[in-house]
């Protein structure tokens, strides 16, 4: 695995506990520090509002029945790169979010790493 992401803090917003645990394991394997997981939009916004530093975020598009876009807006306002995860792929995103780094569920560790590196503009070393 690449060490390019080592030491990065990554916010995880995911309401399915098994998927959240999988993401935490994947991030830890890449040397990242997972933050969260937040299982609701409110929890995610609270973590951002608390001023914790994040290098990036992984956002499940549908969190506990709500769209994650308020969190995406808050991260965008702070210039924090993020990756959407969804069962529908990028085509399931509203028009204004198309082109945003997106991974489709079920995802692989390589897909998560590639999407995070692309979102953060990190070169694979």
Range from 37-41, 72-76, 98-102, 121-125 carrying the lowest mean pLDDT: 121-125
Residue 100 maps to which CATH number? Answer: 3.40.50.2300
14-58 pLDDT, tens digit each: 999 999 999 999 999 999 999 999 999 999 999 999 988 899 999
Assigned domain for 1 exists:
no
Residue 2 has a pLDDT of 58
- Distance of CA 87 to CAs 35, 61, 68, 78, Å? 22, 9, 14, 27
CA-nearest of 85, 76, 82, 80 to 103 is 85
Assigned domain for 51 exists:
yes
Q: What is the CA angle 124-12-59, rounded to 5?
A: 85
Strands 66-67 and 62-63: antiparallel
Assigned domain for 75 exists:
yes
54-71 pLDDT, tens digit each: 999 999 999 999 999 999
Count of structural domains within the chain? 1
Assigned domain for 27 exists:
yes
Give the domain range for residue 79. Answer: 9-120
Distance CA 30, CA 118 (A): 15
Give the mean pLDDT of 8-16: 97
Distance CA 9, CA 66 (A): 24
């Amino acid at each position: 695995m690449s060490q390019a992401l080592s030491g990065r803090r990554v916010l995880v917003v995911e309401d399915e506990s098994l998927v959240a645990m999988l993401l935490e394991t994947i991030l830890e394997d890449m040397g990242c520090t997972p933050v969260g997981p937040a299982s609701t939009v409110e929890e995610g916004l609270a973590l951002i509002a608390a001023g914790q530093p994040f290098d990036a975020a992984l956002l499940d598009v549908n969190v506990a029945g709500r769209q994650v876009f308020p969190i995406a807006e808050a991260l965008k306002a702070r210039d924090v790169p993020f990756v959407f995860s969804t069962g529908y792929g990028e085509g399931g995103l509203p028009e204004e979010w198309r082109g945003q780094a997106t991974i489709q569920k079920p995802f692989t560790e390589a897909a998560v790493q590639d999407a995070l590196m692309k979102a953060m503009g990190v070169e694979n070393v």
